[in-house]
């Protein structure tokens, strides 16, 4: 190898090393939110309260908490869809069919992939309303 080649190669390597040392590292991805983080957010806390009340059969309390979650600003479209789905179940079983249908539509608007499970879609109270509100594509 000729000395000029070594000098130019060495100079190029030095330039790469200097650039590498002065370029800041890429930012680290944000840590995913934990349950404690979520509980500090009023909307997410209200969603959890609504889900718990629904599971315990306390439907008036569940409805109030789910509506509070939606009005307080749930961040996730999937969470919004979950709140609307439970509201649909509550309103359908209390013969508020128009509200039930609107809740199913709102769930789909919040999350384009929203769909009931096969057993949920077969429920006699809300299954027909769901199929009417969100016909198969």
Domain CATH number, residue 65:
1.25.40
Q: What's the pLDDT tens digit per position in 19-70? A: 555 666 677 777 666 767 767 799 999 999 999 999 999 999 999 999 999 9
Residue with tokens 């070594």: 6
In a domain, 7, yes or no: no
In a domain, 57, yes or no: yes
In a domain, 113, yes or no: yes
What does pTM read for this prediction?
0.74
In a domain, 29, yes or no: no
Q: What's the confidence (pLDDT) of residue 40? A: 77
In a domain, 93, yes or no: yes
In a domain, 5, yes or no: no
The Cα 20–Cα 16 span in angstroms is 6
Q: Which domain holds residue 93?
A: 35-133
In a domain, 55, yes or no: yes
The Cα 90–Cα 95 span in angstroms is 9
Encoded tokens for 64: 């109030």
How many structural domains are present in the chain? 1
In a domain, 9, yes or no: no
């Amino acid at each position: 190898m000729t000395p000029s080649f070594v000098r130019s190669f060495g100079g190029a390597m030095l330039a790469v090393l200097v650039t590498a040392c002065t370029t800041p590292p890429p930012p680290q991805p944000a840590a995913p939110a934990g349950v404690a983080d979520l509980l500090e957010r009023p909307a997410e806390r209200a969603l959890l309260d609504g889900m718990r009340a629904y599971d315990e059969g306390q439907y008036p309390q569940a409805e109030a908490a789910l509506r509070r979650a939606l009005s307080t600003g749930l961040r996730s479209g999937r969470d919004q869809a979950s709140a609307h789905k439970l509201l649909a179940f509550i309103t359908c079983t209390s013969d508020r069919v128009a509200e039930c249908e609107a809740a199913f539509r709102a769930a789909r608007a919040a999350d384009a992939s929203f769909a009931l499970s096969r057993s949920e879609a077969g429920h006699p109270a809300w299954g027909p309303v769901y199929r009417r509100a969100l016909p198969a594509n």
